[in-house]
Amino acid sequence: MPATLSSKTFDFLKKLTQNNNREWFTENKNLYTDAQENVIDFLEDLIKEMGGFDEELSKIDAKKSLFRIYRDTRFSKGKSPYKTNFGASLGMGKGSQKGGYYLHLEPKKSFLAGGIYMPESSVLKEVRKEISLYGENFLKILNQKDFKKYFPELDQDDKLKKVPQGFEKEDPMAEYLKLKNFIVVYNLKDEEVLDKNAVKNLAKIFKLMKPLNDFLNAPFL
């Protein structure tokens, strides 16, 4: 039976949100340790399940995929020392060279994501070229029935106002060429995350992202 996320893990995150200070965290370190172990167990089974459709994921270490809970407050206005979520990079991260997956666990704010997030300029240029050259294939992925049901559109954050240099203004894919990120997001309800079949259910949603990742990774194979 695949691991499940415990409601105690979310209870810990709720308490941390209300007591985001070092004194409380130190006194309740055992709650954090238990929650972290629960998430790692869940990730191990999720990675195994996802490895059935993406072999690359089988190489990922569940523990290493989990982001630290400690916040870097040096350049941040908010000085709360801890994150109030568990985030795991399953081949996806800021500045990543290739498309991957991401899981965010937080009471009432959990979500799944996939694609390339804030790629380096050289990677971004190659992805845009691929979209311009093979726009029809790209649209076919975005308009696939099940894909569109979960991901109505690509993330629009930081979108350019003009078509980037090196591309025609009249390019049929112009609106997509203006994007700086190529990611899709699916927001999860707490019931979906804590469901006993969450590993299989979440893996099915992640699987819908694979054709997009394959397309985004094509220029770098």
- Residue-wise pLDDT tens digits, 29-85: 999 999 999 999 999 999 999 999 999 898 899 999 999 999 887 767 778 999 999
pLDDT confidence of residue 170: 94
pLDDT confidence of residue 93: 61
Give the mean pLDDT of 116-131: 93
pLDDT confidence of residue 96: 60
Confidence check: pLDDT of 150 > 90: yes
Digit-coded pLDDT (tens) for 155-203: 999 999 999 999 999 999 999 999 999 999 999 999 999 999 999 999 9
Name beta bridge partners: 103. Answer: 88, 112
CA distance 92 to 84: 20
**Count of Cβ atoms closer than 10 Å to residue 192 Cβ:** 16
Alpha helix positions (H), the chain: 7-18, 22-27, 29-50, 62-65, 121-133, 135-142, 145-150, 174-177, 190-194, 198-217
Name the 3-class secondary structure at 22. Answer: helix
pLDDT confidence of residue 218: 92
Q: What is the pTM of this model?
A: 0.93
pLDDT confidence of residue 98: 81
Query: Residue with structure tokens 């039976």?
Result: 1
CA distance 6 to 37: 11
CA distances 29 to 35, 57, 67, 68, Å, are 10, 30, 17, 14
As a whole number, the mean pLDDT across the chain is: 94
pLDDT confidence of residue 205: 98
Confidence check: pLDDT of 7 > 60: yes
pLDDT confidence of residue 109: 98
Non-local CB neighbours of 138 within 8 Å, separated by 6+ positions: 130, 131, 173, 176, 215
Confidence check: pLDDT of 11 > 90: yes
Instruction: Kindly report the backbone phi and psi dihedral angles of residue 52, in degrees, each rounded to the nearest multiple of 5, phi listed first.
Output: -70, -25
CA distance 209 to 28: 38
Confidence check: pLDDT of 97 > 70: no
CA distance 23 to 45: 33
**Count of Cβ atoms closer than 10 Å to residue 128 Cβ:** 22
CA distance 143 to 12: 39
pLDDT confidence of residue 94: 57
pLDDT confidence of residue 73: 72
pLDDT confidence of residue 169: 93
